[in-house]
Amino acid sequence: MADQSIIRITKEIGELQKSSDLSLAVAFRDRDVRNVKALIIGPHETPYEFGFFEFSVKFNKEDYPRKSPTVTGTTTNSGRCRFNPNIYGSGKVCLSILGTWRGERGEEWSAAQGLESILLSIQSLMSSNPYENEPGFEDANELHDKKNQKEYIEKIRHETLRISIIQRLEDYLGITGSCLTAPTPAEQQNYRIDLDDDIDVDDATVPWEPFKDLCKRRFLWYFDTYLETIKKAKEEVKDGQPFVRMPFEGSSNTMDGKFNYTDLEQRLCRIKAALDAESDRWAVEGVSSRVKDTTMAVNLRRQFEQIKESFKGSDVPRNIELVDDNPFVWDLTYFGRPMTNLDGGVFRIKLNFSPSFPEEQPRVKFLTPIFHHRIATDGTLCYFPKPNRREDVKQHIEAIIEALEEEQPPYDPRTLIHPEAHKLYWGSADERRTYNRRLRRSVQRSAEDF
């Protein structure tokens, strides 16, 4: 029975890791599939939008799938933040399928359910109006209730930014404080690895952070959306205004604090500067790796030479070069396909590789300005390499081109990387025409500036 349970858990984890769902991620350590970390990215158009919410999932190898695993929320600001009526500050998740809440008949756990259904059920709690999850909601006084709903949404939106995004990224990057400048040299040293040093680190002392690179890349995707959220929120609340305690919040199970969007905006910008500096450091570290002829430097150079050769027989004009002969920095030039909105365009795209590639995925940025719904205002591209080919740079380049050229993509709010372009692209017929005109103008300028 135990072996069958392990096989079932391993299969479910594998399916999730291969999934195209951009809002769920799972990981386990050292073959211990019974102890899983899961990340849920907050849904679009909710106060949880693009937040990073982590959960611990523990399976009992004797009982699963007859009984559900134990799930605990870990994004709680050390137990001080209750992100939902059903997600407590202690981390308890109240769901009928987990046996932690009494639901209607048929809502309880069954062996037909699994890890993905649990995560999707938790994600469904992160709605546009989470106050409705409170059991007494239907019996509440309507006028008073509407006021509470609005105030509850406001503080969840603030704490989603502050705790699930900003605090998480600051911890990853080793930066502190609240100023609109780049990290100080001392702070940069906190998260720098000097390739000239011989580092002997006990794995037991290193925190396990399986979603670190994913969150960094997604932060760069959603940076403009975070700023837009703050801009709108500043119109609704004032800095220093205290959070309102909800009727269902107890003294040890609440979300207390004050609004300070000015501070959050500054910290967001500082994180962005730190991530940009990190990409630049990869390039510097890459030079050292090239000189030392490390395995990764050799691997990337070999891939570069193979891809460059393959471009010679391609029907789409494109070219790649190494920047300063550094195998960790690639310069890709793409020429727009004829008879498309990109026709006549010439775009330079930079790929920065980490010395830890593929554990850390490349940072891709358009150096040529372009108005495109999958490209942020700073040139950051939202693209999806195949999950099982993360080490294959050619697959990354193909995914980059696909994201740029895709003419009729299905609507996916998780690709909201350029708020203005996204709104026009998925808006009315007139808005789509406006989008196409602005895209074409940027394409024409790219050829003129080349």
CA 418 from centroid of its chain's CA atoms: 15
How far is residue 388's CA from residue 369's CA, in Å, rounded to a whole number? Answer: 31
To the query of whether residue 94 is one of the catalytic residues in this protein, the response is yes
| Count of C-beta atoms within a 10 Å radius of residue 342 | 23
Tokens of 415: 């690709």
Stated length of the chain: 450
How far is residue 51's CA from residue 168's CA, in Å, rounded to a whole number? Answer: 10
How far is residue 313's CA from residue 62's CA, in Å, rounded to a whole number? Answer: 56
Q: Which residues pair with 366 in a beta bridge?
A: 349
Rounded to 10 deg, the angle between the 295-311 and 261-292 helix axes is 90
Contact 373, 421 (CB under 8 A): yes
DSSP state of 106: T
Q: Given 94, 179, 215, 269, which residue is catalytic?
A: 94
Alpha helices by DSSP H, listed for 246-351, are: 261-292, 295-311
Contact 210, 37 (CB under 8 A): yes
* Percent of the chain as helix, strand, coil, to the nearest 5: 45, 15, 40
Long-range contacts of 238-241 (CB under 8 A, 24+ apart): 239/263
Rounded to 10 deg, the angle between the 142-159 and 212-233 helix axes is 130
- Is residue 33 within a helix (H) or strand (E), and if so which, with residue range? strand 32-41
Residue 146: CB partners within 8 Å, gap ≥ 6? none
How far is residue 267's CA from residue 185's CA, in Å, rounded to a whole number? Answer: 17
List the catalytic residues: 94
